[in-house]
Structure 1
């Protein structure tokens, strides 16, 4: 799924007030964490995931893996926070037209 710049800007505005719903711990990206991300995406459509890592490359690889495994669209990254969007069946968030 590809988003236009207008749609990404809209999602960034909606995500601004959100707090991270999933935070990776010392074990990193586990099956349990991925299950929680999938559950949160199905329920909210737009979520923030906090990836605390000192190593930039490691953080980038973890974020890429989350996007790939969840099937969501990366809206943006801000520091250690990844913003993801994945529309659900009942489409809670209305995106602007392309």
Structure 2
């Protein structure tokens, strides 16, 4: 389900102070990276990822592929950083960035 404009605005505001927790390099998407992305989304729901890739089109493509695999939505992409969200089935109040 797509996020509403108000929700996106709220998440962008929250994401402003977050640090990237996952970095995707030129090596692309490995099983370990996808597992770490899944773990981070389960724990925090809203995370920043850093894309250490020079080509803009490749960054967009890999970010979209990672989000598709993780069943997450892209909230915002600025340069080499993306803010993504996936609602957790069992949110952890201590670690969630949106609760």
Q: TM-score, normalization: structure 1?
A: 0.88
Give, in whole Å, the separation in 1 of the partners of 2:90 and 2:32. Answer: 25
The corresponding residue for 2:86 is: 86
Offset from partner CA, 1:21-57 (integer Å, 9 cap, x none): 0012342211111110000000000001101111111
- Residue-pair matches, total: 94
Q: Name stretches of at least 5 consecutive residues in structure 1 with no aligned partner.
A: none
Q: Name stretches of at least 5 consecutive residues in structure 2 with no aligned partner.
A: none
Give, in whole Å, the separation in 1 of the partners of 2:26 and 2:75. Answer: 25
Q: TM-score, normalization: structure 2?
A: 0.87
Offset from partner CA, 1:56-76 (integer Å, 9 cap, x none): 111111011011101011100
Over 4 Å off, 4+ runs: none
The corresponding residue for 2:37 is: 37
